[in-house]
Amino acid sequence: MSLPGSALDPTGHSTSPPPLPRLANAYRALEHGFDAAFGSAGNPLKQLGALGFLLLWLLVASGSILFIVLDTSAAGAYRSIASLADVPWMLGTALRGLHRYAADAFVLVMGLHIVREWLLGRYRHWRRMIWWTGVPLVGLVFVSAVGGFWLNWDRLGQYSVVATAEWLDALPFLAAPLARNFLGDASLSDRLFTLFIFIHIGVPLLAVFGLWFHIQRISLAKVFPPRPLAGSTLAVLLALALALPVHSQGPADLGSLPTTLALDWWLLFIHPLMDATSPTTVWVLLGLAFVLLALPPFLPTATRQAVAVVYPEHCSGCARCFDDCPYSAITMVAHPNGKPGMRLAQVRADLCASCGICAGSCPSSTPFRSAEQLVTGIDMPQWPVHALRRQLVDGLRALPGPMRLVVFGCDQGARGRLDAPDVLHFKLVCAGALPPSFIEYALRAGADAVLVNGCRAGGCAFRLGQRWTEQRLTGEREPHLRQSVPHDRWDVAWTDTGDEPALAAALDALRQRCQPGAHPASEESHR
């Protein structure tokens, strides 16, 4: 028996998002393949943001050491960098290669991160500002990366800086051509070289500041991947640095033009693109690229669901909803009753994801209260907890028996229909919206067993729903499932779209474990 729409929607209308597009499903299938190799929690495709931060820390650490050894003059810069190849045990070579390959990897991870968030539709509603604050970071990353080649001041750096000057000269508002600073056999002035240093060091500081804005609307943002993934990433970068050393390509000579260069296509692709077209064409293409990057949040989307509502007379100020909210949409303020020390949860509508995780975290979401109308400290008005309680009782009464199974299923995960005659299926917008006490309540109300279904580890559509649900059920996080609930009467299945066979298998295993007669199903027997 599968209830119409969302189980928490008393109107019977669906509040769930539409199925993922075909491209998104294909990407999910790719992620599942990586799950098999790395495990769900250590899957690099699910850790792109954290990997980006790791690479940033590597760039900062290696860049700081390189700046110490760099001769910050136009005449001495090349020699100071080239001399790294003479450091014993290839330490200088490893350091230089780590910095370069970390920059390449950062751009790759950044691109994958953008594609992943776009495919999964993570630019709508409360995510709009997160998306928009990420767009200018792309430009800052490339400006910093290109400026890094200039500090070496070899033939590649010379080619890059001259090409950049010619490209900037295409702008109509420049008073004097920049490219004339690099004409003839004149040497580069130390003052201009200081500008190069500022670009490569100052712009990353702006990027770090921008990253702070980018993650402000995300609580518990991961700025470091799991240790095994971090260690393997560092090992791969060091292996590349030693196997394919980064070498200088001869000192810069403004009196001649470079002919043969080993180009870093990840970071310097804009220069050959300009050579193949024109500076104006590149400006137009670049402008179009940033317009397309900023466009997704303007695309038509589904109607925004109502946000969480706080009921002051039932809010104890425990701050569990504040701790569990994935998007920092909840703050704690002074309670309007004026009692000293009393606090009240307050919801920012523009940040609320309507996921219901806060309702699942409220300790007043308990089925053992005698009130006819169950009202909690915080709840979703379109999916009130009292409606779940009413539908749970009515649904169990309607099941013919002799076995009655309840499935609390996350509608973001596996979408298979659990319409067996002995199953009562509740589709929740997120598994984190389920108060753990409802497992016990379902058993007390006549269910033989309960299955909780949510997204795979690391793949929650609302970031933390699967994680908090698992910790609540295992007693690691409040509110937790009471230890008195028989462990053989409930189970979990963490499945994504495409994992419907695994979800069905988990249900069959639970069904076999709880055959009629093994456990009395009456409410009194479970008290």
| Owner of token pair 């970031």 | 463
d(CA 89, CA 68): 19
Task: Say what the pLDDT of residue 526 is.
Answer: 39
User: 3-state SS string over 70-102?
Assistant: CCCCCCCHHHHHHHHHHCHHHHHHHHHHHHHHH
d(CA 46, CA 467): 14
| Contacts of 468 by beta carbon, 8 Å cutoff, 6+ apart | 324, 357, 360, 361, 432, 477
d(CA 431, CA 414): 12
Q: Where are the domains of the chain?
A: 54-83+101-217+251-298, 309-526
Q: Give the chain's residues under pLDDT 50.
A: 4-19, 519-527
- 421 is written with which tokens? 């005659």
For the domain made up of 54-83+101-217+251-298, give the CATH fold.
Answer: Cytochrome Bc1 Complex; Chain C (1.20.810)
Q: Could you give the 3-state DSSP secondary structure of residue 136? A: helix
CA dist list (Å): 139 to 144, 290, 292, 296, 300 = 9, 9, 14, 18, 26
Task: Say what the pLDDT of residue 7 is.
Answer: 42
Please give the model's pTM, rounded to 2 decimal places: 0.87
Task: Say what the pLDDT of residue 523 is.
Answer: 40
d(CA 127, CA 65): 37
Helices (H), 309-452: 320-324, 357-361, 385-398, 437-444
d(CA 160, CA 262): 12
Judge residue 400's burial from the number of C-beta atoms within 10 Å of its C-beta, 0-12 exposed, 13-18 middle, 19 or more buried: exposed
User: Are 510 and 405 in contact, with CB atoms under 8 Å apart?
Assistant: yes
Q: Estimate to the nearest angstrom the gap between the alpha carbon of 290 and the chain centroid.
A: 21
Task: Say what the pLDDT of residue 240 is.
Answer: 96
d(CA 440, CA 422): 18
Instruction: List, as one string, the DSSP characters of 265-276.
Output: HHHHTHHHHHHH
d(CA 7, CA 430): 11
User: Are 245 and 174 in contact, with CB atoms under 8 Å apart?
Assistant: no
d(CA 496, CA 482): 27
d(CA 320, CA 480): 12
Secondary element (H or E) of residue 206? helix 190-214
Task: Say what the pLDDT of residue 261 is.
Answer: 87
Judge residue 209's burial from the number of C-beta atoms within 10 Å of its C-beta, 0-12 exposed, 13-18 middle, 19 or more buried: exposed
Task: Say what the pLDDT of residue 212 is.
Answer: 92
Instruction: List, as one string, the DSSP characters of 390-407.
Output: HHHHHHHHH---S--EEE
Go through 313-331 and write b for each residue having 16 or more CB atoms within 10 A of its CB, e for each that does not: eebebbebbbbbbbbbbbe
Phi, psi for residue 344 in degrees, rounded to 5: -135, 135
18 prior amide bond cis, ω within 30: no
Q: Could you give the 3-state DSSP secondary structure of residue 302? A: coil
| Contacts of 486 by beta carbon, 8 Å cutoff, 6+ apart | 443, 519
Q: What share of the chain is helix, strand, coil (3-state, %, to 5)?
A: 50, 10, 40
Task: Say what the pLDDT of residue 308 is.
Answer: 95
d(CA 404, CA 396): 7
Closest of 235, 223, 201 to residue 105, by C-alpha: 235
E strands of 242-320, at which residues? 309-310
User: Are 117 and 52 in contact, with CB atoms under 8 Å apart?
Assistant: no
Closest of 456, 458, 471, 457 to residue 503, by C-alpha: 456
Task: Say what the pLDDT of residue 365 is.
Answer: 67
